[in-house]
């Protein structure tokens, strides 16, 4: 019986491998043989979770043709991986990826580390901040006071609590987009909202257009739903969307869905202006594409003189082309798993009907907590604390990285929670692996792309400040030195993991 649970095609694996930057040989060292470089590249993909464990690899002949190398090179690379514990094979069943005994299974997304590991490892993988107290405690207390009437019901509200739907609708109306409660569905976080949208609009094999780069966890969600991702390159720096590319792609590929982050884009921090928003909505409407707009960062403008453009849905007030997704996770706290969708009433009804086969509804207590915050003014107070903390962390991290790694390049975003960094020619994948060795966890650029793009980047979130930001930059510099010396990956390096 085969031991593999998924498969990776030769062309896809070749694209991912060819996007990788070669491992530096180190001063005076010779270039590694071709089979070693190939084995090292596959091992990196497995360790980063971009090729899943128990995935069947292409036959030697197929991969050799896709990479334009000899079959002997592929056979030797596979044998090296088997020796190291990263590949298992069985006659008649092929070869599939594995991890050596004692190694943790690699994460495919950007899951936060368990709290007990935070003392020994600086986590720059998750772009989320601690709760803004005292507002979390007050929101829970307020929710408990309002809970008794709901406790006498069955507790299932597939569209969300009527009170919270009304509050969210009022907030959109106050932003200049008239909205009825019937246009709101409350979800379990933004991920729950986008998962529901993908299942309703984009069946397996449907095209979904995405920014390139884009939010890693959403890309993985769409891949696992069976979507065919169509990447559209962002403008350089903080320029946001390249409308020419978007118009051409929408016209040529006609994707069923397009997913974008207009406000302080994750990971680049770009902010789309009003002309870009209007133009993208018009292009999506003409192509018959549903535009899913992620607004989870919209309230996190960090500089006082930032003038926020109108929301994307302002250019489609009826909600027939634009589906807006919001969340309490970034602006308030990731542990408050409350998200929402704003769309046309018929779309909301369809999403609610489809939800009956998923999670039935979102926890009542958390909905009451968010509603209490928004009704009492606590939300604005908490978000102001969040902005101040993120601004302080951003400034500390930027200063520390510029001091420790002056050859790295980035533009400082004026909002959001992330810094998109070009790593001076070093491989982001190798930096991520080396970082684990020296006590800093950082996601590599390819996690935010399609088929291996952005190997020369990493993402740094504004989650640490002060001395911790300085120490994080120091450890990143140590990881960079490992990579530059040729020890940041490769079979000869010890495979150790920080607990």
CB within 8 Å of 457: residues ≥ 6 apart: 213, 420, 421, 422, 423, 428, 444, 445, 448
- Tell whether the model's pLDDT for residue 108 goes beyond 60: no
Mean pLDDT of 30-51: 83
pLDDT band at 479 (very low <50, low <70, confident <90, very high): very high
Asked if residue 266 lies in contact with residue 418, where contact means CB atoms within 8 angstroms, the answer is yes
What gap in Å lies between CA 106 and CA 217, rounded to an integer? 14
Q: What is the pLDDT of residue 19?
A: 75
When pLDDT is cut at 50, 70 and 90, the band that residue 427 belongs to is confident
Name which of 20-34, 197-211, 455-469, 473-487 the model is least confident about: 20-34
Question: What's the pLDDT band for 415 if we cut at 50, 70, 90?
Answer: very high
Note the Cα 465 to chain centre separation in Å.
22
**Mean pLDDT for the chain overall:** 88
Q: How confident is the model at residue 21 (pLDDT cuts 50, 70, 90)?
A: low
pLDDT in tens, 126-142: 899 999 999 999 999 99
- Residues 144-169 have a mean pLDDT of 95
Mean pLDDT value of segment 170-192 = 96
**And the tokens for 17?**
């491998």
Write the CA distances from 283 to 249, 280, 297, 344, integer angstroms.
Answer: 10, 5, 24, 19
Write a three-state SS string for the chain.
Answer: CCCCCEECCHHHHHHHHHHCCCCCCCCCCCCCCHHHHHHHHHHHHHHCCCCCCCEECCCHHHHHHHHCCCHHHHHHHHHHHHHHCCEEEECCCEEEECCCCCCCCCCCCCCCCCHHHCCCCEECCCCCCCCCCCHHHHHHHHHHHHCHHHHCCCCCCCCCCHHHHHHHHHHHHHCCCCCCHHHEEEECHHHHHHHHHHHHHCCCCCEEEEEECCCHHHHHHHHHCCCEEEEEEECCCCCCECHHHHHHHHHHHCCCEEEECCCCCCCCCCCCCHHHHHHHHHHHHHHCCEEEEECCCCCCECCCCCCCCCCHHHHCCCCCCEEEEEECCCCCCCCCCCEEEECCHHHHHHHHHHHCCCCCCCCHHHHHHHHHHHHHCHHHHHHHHHHHHHHHHHHHHHHHHHHHCCCCECCCCCECCEEEEECCCCCHHHHHHHHHHHCEECCEHHHHCCCCCCCCEEEEECCCCHHHHHHHHHHHHHHHHHHHCCCCCCCCCCCCCCC
Q: What is the mean pLDDT of residues 335-348?
A: 95
CA distance 280 to 265: 15
pLDDT at 92: 81
Q: Dig out the tokens for 282 from the structure.
A: 């018009």
| Two structure tokens written together for 247 | 């118009």
> Residue 499 has what pLDDT?
20
The pLDDT of residue 358 is above 60: yes
Give the pLDDT score at 320. Answer: 86
Q: What is the pLDDT of residue 490?
A: 44
Q: Which residue, 387, 375, 395, is CA-closest to 416?
A: 387
- Helices 34-47 + 428-438 axis angle, to 10: 70
Taking residue 5's Cβ as centre, other Cβ atoms within 10 Å add up to 11
Is omega for the bond preceding 134 within 30 degrees of 0, making it cis? yes
Check residue 493 and give its pLDDT: 35
- The number of beta carbons lying within 10 Å of the beta carbon of residue 162 is 12
Q: Write the pLDDT tens digit of every residue in 288-309.
A: 999 999 999 999 999 999 999 9
Give the pLDDT confidence score for residue 118 in this predicted structure: 56
**pLDDT score for 492:** 34
Round to whole Å and give the CA distance between 462 and 255.
33
231 closest CA partner among 452, 459, 457, 456: 452
Please tell me the predicted confidence (pLDDT) of residue 138: 97
Question: 310 versus 99: which is more confidently predicted?
Answer: 310
Of residues 348 and 20, the one with the higher pLDDT is 348
Cβ atoms 382, 370 nearer than 8 A: no
Residue 54 has pLDDT above 70, yes or no: yes
What pLDDT is recorded for position 102?
62
The pLDDT of residue 310 is above 50: yes
| Maximum C-alpha span of the chain | 75
183/433: higher pLDDT: 183
Could you tell me the pLDDT band of residue 422, with boundaries at 50, 70 and 90? Answer: very high
Residue range 142-154: average pLDDT?
A: 94
Determine the length of the chain.
Answer: 499
pLDDT at 200 over 80: yes
Work out the percent of the chain whose per-residue pLDDT is above 90. 66
């Amino acid at each position: 019986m085969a031991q593999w649970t998924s498969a990776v095609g030769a062309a896809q694996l070749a694209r991912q491998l060819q996007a990788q930057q070669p491992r530096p040989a180190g001063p005076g060292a010779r270039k590694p043989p071709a089979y070693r470089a190939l084995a090292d590249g596959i091992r990196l993909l497995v360790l980063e979770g971009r090729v899943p464990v128990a995935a069947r690899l292409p036959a030697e002949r197929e991969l050799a043709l896709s990479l334009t190398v000899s079959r002997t090179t592929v056979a030797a690379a596979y044998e090296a991986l088997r020796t190291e514990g990263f590949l298992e094979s069985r006659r008649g069943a092929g070869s599939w990826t594995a991890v050596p005994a004692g190694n943790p299974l690699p994460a495919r997304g950007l899951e936060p580390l368990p709290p007990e590991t935070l003392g020994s490892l600086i986590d720059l993988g998750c772009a989320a901040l601690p709760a803004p107290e005292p507002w979390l405690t007050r929101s829970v207390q307020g929710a408990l006071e309002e809970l008794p009437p709901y406790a006498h019901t069955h507790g299932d509200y597939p569209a969300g609590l009527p009170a919270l739907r009304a509050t969210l609708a009022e907030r959109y109306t106050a932003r200049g987009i008239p909205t009825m409660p019937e246009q709101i569905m409350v979800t379990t976080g933004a991920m729950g909202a986008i998962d529901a949208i993908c299942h309703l609009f984009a069946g397996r094999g449907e095209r979904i257009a995405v920014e390139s780069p884009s939010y890693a966890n959403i890309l993985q969600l769409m891949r696992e739903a069976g979507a065919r991702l169509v990447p559209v390159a962002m403008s350089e720096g903080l320029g946001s969307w390249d409308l020419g590319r978007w118009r051409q792609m929408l016209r040529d590929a006609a994707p069923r869905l397009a997913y974008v982050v207009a406000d302080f884009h994750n990971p680049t921090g770009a902010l789309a202006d009003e002309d870009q928003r209007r133009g993208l909505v018009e292009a999506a409407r003409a192509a018959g594409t549903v535009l899913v707009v992620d607004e989870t960062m919209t309230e996190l403008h960090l500089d006082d003189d930032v003038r926020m453009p109108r929301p994307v849905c302002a250019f489609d007030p009826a909600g027939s082309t634009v589906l807006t997704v919001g969340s309490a996770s970034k602006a308030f706290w990731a542990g408050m798993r409350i998200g929402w969708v704003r769309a046309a009433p018929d779309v909301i009804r369809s999403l609610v009907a489809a939800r009956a086969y998923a999670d039935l509804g979102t926890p009542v207590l958390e909905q009451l907590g968010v509603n209490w915050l928004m009704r009492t003014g606590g939300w604005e107070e908490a978000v102001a604390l969040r902005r101040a903390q993120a601004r302080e962390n951003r400034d500390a991290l930027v200063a520390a990285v510029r001091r420790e790694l002056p050859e790295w390049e980035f533009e400082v975003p004026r909002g959001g929670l992330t810094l998109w960094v070009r790593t001076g020619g070093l491989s982001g994948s190798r930096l991520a692996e080396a970082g684990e060795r020296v006590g800093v966890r950082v996601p590599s650029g390819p996690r935010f792309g399609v088929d291996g793009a952005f190997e020369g980047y990493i993402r740094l979130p504004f989650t640490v400040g002060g001395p911790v930001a300085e120490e994080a930059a120091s450890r990143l510099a140590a990881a960079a030195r490992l990579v530059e010396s040729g020890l940041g990956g490769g079979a000869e390096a010890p495979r150790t993991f920080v607990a």
